[in-house]
Structure 1
Amino acid sequence: MTAQPARFERSGPETASVMDVPPFKPPLVKAVFRDVTPMHVSRSAARAAASVTRTVLTEIIDGARRAAAEESRKRLVPGDLLSAIDRNVELEVGSQWYDHSPTFQGLTGVVHDAEGVIVPSPEHSRSRRPSAVVGAHRFEAGVRKLLRSQGVMAVPAMVRDLRGIASVFLTDLARDAAMVVREGGVKRFGSVALVMPGEPAPPPSLKDPLLALSTRRGDGRTIGRDDVLAATTIQLFGGNLRQRALTEAREAAADTPAG
């Protein structure tokens, strides 16, 4: 799937209300973390992870809403999701879901064997599906709350895709946060700068959050807020979405009691 970087300013009814509405509750977030790691998850980490997921889904919905508005529609369809991702490469997250959604069939490429023969996609039985796919239904209430906050509706197939992407993204975030704890910081990932064609790449910033979070502090048994922030720099490109996700996560986790 071809995607081009884009720079959008968010607009619409969601801007003032989304930060006040926690669509993904801490118990759900901690349940997702338990699916991938036995480590303890602090309250601030759970709130930060919920915030990052909310920011990403809000941006995806906003991009889809823009695509639907061009056709004078308020009800989102899966095609609007594809348009949003095509217009903004930062929104291409939770890609493991693509293998399980009819929306993305034929768009993720094909695999050939050594003789050039197309290898058919594997059959996905429920027992072998990743936990993020099986548990995607847990995110439906939060997705619907985000849709209402932006004043849009979505067909069932679109809700299914949004909840699947949310589940896979948060699961990947949890897995990377656990890796940060095990490895003592971000060790293997660089930074990506998104620019428009013809524009020079900006110089690396000394305030890059990836550099600031490269060395971890804390014990090796608890996932904290900064571990989630470090995982966010792994999951998201170094563009506007990542910076907004980090900023909003810090705000959401502020003044959270320890534990």
Structure 2
Amino acid sequence: MTTQPARAEHSGPESAPVLDVSPFKPSLVKAVFRDVTSMHVSRSAAWAAASVTRTVLTEIIDGARRAAAEEARKKLIPGDLLSAIDRNVELEVGNKWYDHSPTFQGLTGVLYDAEGVIVPSRKRSQSRKLSAVVGAHRFEAGVKKLLRSQGATAVPAMVRDLDGIASVFLTDLARDAAMVVREGGTKRFGTVTLEMPGEPAPPPLLKDSLRAPSNRRRDGRTIGRDDILAATTIQLFGGNLRQRALTEAREATQNTSAG
């Protein structure tokens, strides 16, 4: 039998700390992947993708909180999202959502009132009619849970943006993971080596181990954890956020099987 990653709230005092990726359930992750590819998604791959998405959203929320604090506000508004991205280019992910959100239409031309509601504008009347990207809004519950875990609250427009960014980011991650499998997996993209602070670097893999057979390499139809990690390096270009996402994904999947 396989075991799911231990969750922080159920860990005993002697348990190794493992991140709780529950805001974005593996079942929801797999639903997103089904929209993109017919490939099978392993249990560990689903947990890894959920963890990476959580890491990205957590960093965005943290940046927005700092922007709001500078204005002595506790509730996050879309303007805080723009400030977070402006200050940290690593947070610029899920770009396709930008075309569907009033927050990013014209950028400097978007105005909000004290409650984070967009001030009407004739120039934005057409852009506001754009429908959300396919699959958006299914992450709303996870976004709200993540906000609560960070001690933050947000206006509906901000929740909608975080929801949309999460959906687009995970969809892009799924596409890249499928591409990694189709184009040779680790044989082409290389393995992902994770180094923990204060620990010696792991020894290099032997050539024979890179050629070791796996279900994914045999059938070419299964997305595994390493494929998600490879896709993460494609999606996240910033060194700090990328390394944090890879490390936390590894921790979140250390108790799962590859199946």
Q: Are the counterparts in 1 of residues 21 and 47 from structure 2 also a CA contact under 8 Å?
A: no
The 4+ residue runs of structure 1 with deviation greater than 2 A are 17-21, 121-126, 185-189, 214-219
Cα distance between partner residues in 1 of 2:98 and 2:54: 19
Deviation of 1:152 (Å): 0.9
Deviations 1:162-184 (A, max 9, x none): 00000000000000000000001
Residue in 1 that maps onto 2:58? 58
Instruction: List gaps (5 residues or longer) in structure 2.
Output: 1-16, 109-125, 191-200, 204-209
Residue in 2 that maps onto 1:96? 96
Residue in 2 that maps onto 1:171? 171
Residue in 2 that maps onto 1:111? none
Q: Secondary structure at the match of 1:135?
A: coil
TM-score by length of 2: 0.72
Instruction: List gaps (5 residues or longer) in structure 1.
Output: 1-16, 109-120, 190-204, 208-213
Deviation of 1:239 (Å): 1.1
Cα distance between partner residues in 2 of 1:103 and 1:245: 26
Q: Are the counterparts in 2 of residues 185 and 215 from structure 1 also a CA contact under 8 Å?
A: no
AA aligned to 1:37 is T
Deviations 1:33-69 (A, max 9, x none): 0000000000000000000000000000000000001
Deviation of 1:255 (Å): 1.4
Matches within 5 A, 1:119-138: 133-138=133-138
Deviation of 1:237 (Å): 1.1
Q: Secondary structure at the match of 1:93?
A: coil
Cα distance between partner residues in 2 of 1:18 and 1:42: 19
Q: Secondary structure at the match of 2:138?
A: helix
Residue in 1 that maps onto 2:11? none
- Against the structure 1 CA distance between its residues 123 and 23, is the aligned structure 2 distance closer, same or farther, given a 3 Å change threshold? closer
- Against the structure 1 CA distance between its residues 156 and 18, is the aligned structure 2 distance closer, same or farther, given a 3 Å change threshold? farther
Residue in 2 that maps onto 1:240? 240
Residue in 1 that maps onto 2:45? 45
Matches within 5 A, 1:16-95: 19-95=19-95
Residue in 2 that maps onto 1:6? none
- State whether structure 2 residue 171 is matched by structure 1 residue 146: no
Deviation of 1:107 (Å): 3.7
Q: Are the counterparts in 1 of residues 189 and 230 from structure 2 also a CA contact under 8 Å?
A: no
Q: Secondary structure at the match of 1:233?
A: helix
What do you get for the CA RMSD once the two structures are aligned?
A: 3.0
Deviations 1:138-194 (A, max 9, x none): 0000000110011110000000000000000000000000000000137589xxxxx
Larger Rg: 2
- Against the structure 1 CA distance between its residues 91 and 215, is the aligned structure 2 distance closer, same or farther, given a 3 Å change threshold? farther
Cα distance between partner residues in 1 of 2:253 and 2:127: 41
Query: Identical aligned pairs, as a percentage?
Result: 80
- Against the structure 1 CA distance between its residues 184 and 104, is the aligned structure 2 distance closer, same or farther, given a 3 Å change threshold? same
Cα distance between partner residues in 1 of 2:70 and 2:221: 49
Q: Are the counterparts in 2 of residues 64 and 81 from structure 1 also a CA contact under 8 Å?
A: yes
TM-score by length of 1: 0.72
